[in-house]
Structure 1
Amino acid sequence: MSHRESDRRQFLKKSAATAAAVSVPYFLTGQNAAAADEQKANESNDRPIVGCIGTGSRWHAVGPNAMQLGDVAAVCDVDANHAAGAKKKVTEIQSKKGSDRQVDVYEDYQKILDRKDIEIVTIVTTDHWHSKIAIEAMKAGKDVYCEKPLTLTIDEGKKICQVAKETGRVFQVGTQQRSEMGLRFLQAVALVRNGRIGEVQNIAVAIGGAPACNSIPVVDVPSGLNWEKWLGQAPLVDYRWAKNGNTVNTRCHYEFRWWYEYSGGKLTDWGAHHVDIAQWAIGQSEDGMGPRSIEPIYAKHPVDFKDGMPVQDDRYNTATQFHIKATFGDGVVMDIKDSHQDELGFDNGIMFMGTEGRFLVNRGKIVGAPVDALKENPLPENAIAEIYGGSMPARGNAHMANFFEAVKTRKLPISDVFTHHRALTTCHLSNIAIRLNRSLKWDPQTEQILGDDQANAMQSRDARKGYEVTV
């Protein structure tokens, strides 16, 4: 038996075992599924109590989604302006439902974790805060919904997986492509797993490039923002902000994505979505799975680097252009790029290519000959349900509904921390490779970079005193 055939058989066995392990009860599939779930929860008077940690721009989707299925008792943010806005929004939404629940506001997330009445927390902070809060939340007995990308480093992912196993808490990662987007991505996974493109040979993942900017001046910290606490584990630096036309450049809030100190640029921001789907489709997100080698074909950064660290601190520093080649144990090659162009043409999405065809999937479409062939040869009736753990996603608010159902049943949600960690490891390894400008060998079973001590050390970061991520 060849190594590729052995890996494929192992994948199929693991897929069957995983489907059984994550099987969850049937989700409503009618147009009013979310409303029906909410009505049922209201009638039984057992809606979980939720605390919201981090209430910036992304929370304005996550928070209301959680309020369809639970009641928010407290909000927390180191920016008082965000927190005040969140309280107002929660109060308005819940009062329309006839609730007069008091909504408390905190700057310190520990206040939420200390509350015995709060069962669930949503974490919608900057990336570099996710792991510390999530670990402490699980230890405090809370179930967790955390936005992606889950971690700042590979080491943080290992720690989250350890604590999730030790505590048995339910943990959903906010990779909504696993549940929503018109089910296109679930259909893509089903096409691959049902052999509709034969043996997968190559996957092109296009995720866009990060922006660059000119030098950003040091300015006073805005009123209401606790800048020292916002920085958390990252180095203590000056606050920078500038506006050029309609474009805001800053070290803070949304633009934190373009600083390696707080995130991983597009490789983790969008890689957390598309690399996740790609590895899920080919069975490379399970324990012991992942790439064997990472090769940086090219990368362009807006600043210079020394020993893998940016030497300028006054402008964005994540890669603006890149092409990384990740090779997996079964021989599949994944090309992770800022953009990809061929006769189908796309600049964001996933192209699956096999011995018997290829197709493209992104948030707007799923196209290609294997997709066209479904008209005459549809997928098996339960193909997508099997991918989704034995049931179809709810129509409307599916990802949050899957999480709340898992909280009730204590089953793994569809986007669990273990598979997310494996997919995000590929993204983190890609960043390490382009920052050091050299290829890496990775052992996915021991989760170690082979023969490169400097690169291996970059699996973790030194945290500022008082903000360490510990288990």
Structure 2
Amino acid sequence: MKTQLSQSRRQFLQRTAAAGAGLLLTPLAMPAARSRSASERITVGMIGIGAMGRGHLDRLLGYEDVQVVAVCDVEKTRRETAQSQVEKRYAARQKDGVFKGCDAYTDFRALIARKDIDAVVVATPDHMHVIIALAAARAGKDIYCEKPLTQNIHEGRLLVDAVKKHRIIFQTGSQQRSEFNDRFRKAVEFIWNGRIGRLKTIHVGVGAPPVVCDLPDQPTPADVDWELWLGPAPLRGYNEILCPKGMHRHYPLFRNYREFAGGSLADMGAHHFDIAQWAMGMDASGPTLITPPAGEALTGLKFTYANGVELFHGGKSGCTFEGTDGTLYVDRGVMESSRPEILSVPLSATDQRVYPSNQHMRNWLDCVRERRQAICPVEVGHRTASICHLANIGYQLRRPLHWDPVKEQFRKDPEANRLVSRKPRAPWSYSMS
């Protein structure tokens, strides 16, 4: 059995390497942009204070080696509440119980312009991610950016190039690589080491593509900067479904609309497609063929990869991996297999292992301090988002599409290639900072 597993692993890695796979097996050293002593705090600016942003902020405030010095949101109550939260938390550490050292901004550009900020966390709606991250990269800020990383494929490549040019330590918020009791990490390791034999198919159960936004216009609240919320997206009126007023604990439904996001397909797809591509060793590449389902079905689209693996959109929530010797299913609360020994036999000391990380934000902060690559770097975040965009393009055009994952263009298909990018609404542009 051990010989079969080892041989299967070697064959798998050979196939993925030949297909141009980007296995991120070890934390790659990054050129040192600046040095920082072990006792020096990392100064952080928080951009976007919705449900995800508040969670990130609370976690950052728990780290002794981090100082949150600024918060930003287009809605007054959210930014002022976040500012108060920061100052109260830090005041509790002071002998006199007083702390006034966190500024609140409406415009992210003012926060990014500060020379005393080392890094930023971007937790805005999806359509603002790249505009903000590009400005931060050009200003030399290390970046933690929520997923889905991008809204189109072209802007993702722009971001990858900027991060590399400016030597930024970047983490995409696909935290399944680090958390959830290591279930996803173990699943990837089992697959890498041949526990289900040769990987044949993967089913990823996530939601539907986005729809065109037809929400009615509502009066814009005085405490919301609607132009800054829209950013590069098409001009339209305010609606509370897109940008709820005040503090809230739900995830706003801007993500359902094509103008602002990639639907629930991209929302959870940014997690589960990430694990799927990681497991097949293609997390720095992509498929070569996209085949949508017949009729108007919103599930069943198929990706075909150069290594022979077929990836399907559809099925129960999470990832189902099917191989020649069994199946493995993993979601946030469960990992199951068709044969008990797939999961029960411990991995050996010589088996292939994933990059070590047990807390996603902590991994990023450690990498910022040590100037090394994080577990979900910008290229991986871009490639995972690209899978979601390719699926949405396939559902929109309803015909087979041939994709070149190196050139990031469709082959001889001008109509499809027009959907690879979207021009930002003036005066917004990818070159602004």
Output the TM-score relative to the length of structure 2.
Answer: 0.87
> Is the aligned partner of 1:19 residue 2:30?
no
Secondary structure, aligned partner of 1:268: helix
CA-CA distance at 1:229 after TM superposition: 1.5
8 Å CA contact retained: 2:21, 2:281: yes
Q: Supply the AA of the counterpart residue of 1:354.
A: G
Secondary structure, aligned partner of 2:291: strand
Give 1:272's match in structure 2, choosing from 262, 270, 273: 270
Q: 2-side partners of 1:211 and 1:293: how far apart?
A: 21
8 Å CA contact retained: 2:47, 2:124: yes
Say if 1:216 and 1:457 are closer, same or farther in 2 by CA, change over 3 A. closer
Give the 5 Å matches for 1:10-409: 11=16, 18-22=24-28, 45-69=39-63, 70-98=66-94, 100-209=99-208, 216-241=215-240, 250-252=241-243, 254-286=252-284, 289-298=285-294, 321-337=298-314, 340=315, 347-370=316-339, 372-375=341-344, 377-381=345-349, 386-388=353-355, 391=356, 393-394=357-358, 398-409=359-370
CA-CA distance at 1:335 after TM superposition: 0.5
Say if 1:220 and 1:332 are closer, same or farther in 2 by CA, change over 3 A. same
Q: 1-side partners of 2:340 and 2:385: how far apart?
A: 28
CA-CA distance at 1:100 after TM superposition: 2.1
8 Å CA contact retained: 1:204, 1:335: yes
Say if 1:198 and 1:468 are closer, same or farther in 2 by CA, change over 3 A. same
Q: 2-side partners of 1:138 and 1:101: how far apart?
A: 28
> Is the aligned partner of 1:427 residue 2:388?
yes
Q: 2-side partners of 1:58 and 1:190: how far apart?
A: 29
Provide Cα deviations, 1:231-251, integer angstroms capped at 9, x if missing partner: 11011112234xxxxxxxx23
Unaligned residue ranges in structure 1 (runs of 5+): 25-40, 242-249, 302-320, 341-346
CA-CA distance at 1:216 after TM superposition: 4.0
8 Å CA contact retained: 1:8, 1:330: no
Deviates more, 1:350-359 or 1:95-104: 95-104
1:38 corresponds to: none
Q: 2-side partners of 1:211 and 1:431: how far apart?
A: 8
Provide Cα deviations, 1:178-227, integer angstroms capped at 9, x if missing partner: 00011000001001100001110000000134799997433211231111
Q: 2-side partners of 1:210 and 1:423: how far apart?
A: 15
8 Å CA contact retained: 1:22, 1:414: no
CA-CA distance at 1:19 after TM superposition: 2.4
Q: 2-side partners of 1:101 and 1:413: how far apart?
A: 32
Q: 2-side partners of 1:299 and 1:221: how far apart?
A: 40
1:244 corresponds to: none
Q: 2-side partners of 1:16 and 1:158: how far apart?
A: 16
1:308 corresponds to: none
CA-CA distance at 1:66 after TM superposition: 2.1
Secondary structure, aligned partner of 1:181: coil
8 Å CA contact retained: 2:209, 2:263: yes
Say if 1:197 and 1:106 are closer, same or farther in 2 by CA, change over 3 A. same
Q: Supply the AA of the counterpart residue of 1:88.
A: S
Q: 2-side partners of 1:54 and 1:409: how far apart?
A: 26
Q: 1-side partners of 2:395 and 2:59: how far apart?
A: 37
Q: Number of residue pairs matched?
A: 405
1:28 corresponds to: none
Give 1:9's match in structure 2, choosing from 14, 36, 40: 14
8 Å CA contact retained: 2:322, 2:328: yes
Provide Cα deviations, 1:110-167, integer angstroms capped at 9, x if missing partner: 1111111110100010100000110110110100011001101000110011011111
Q: 2-side partners of 1:467 and 1:366: how far apart?
A: 44
Q: 2-side partners of 1:381 and 1:23: how far apart?
A: 24
Q: Supply the AA of the counterpart residue of 1:272.
A: A
Say if 1:373 and 1:45 are closer, same or farther in 2 by CA, change over 3 A. closer
Output the TM-score relative to the length of structure 1.
Answer: 0.80
Q: 1-side partners of 2:423 and 2:175: how far apart?
A: 31
Unaligned residue ranges in structure 2 (runs of 5+): 1-9, 31-35, 245-251
1:448 corresponds to: 409
CA-CA distance at 1:44 after TM superposition: 5.8
Secondary structure, aligned partner of 2:25: helix
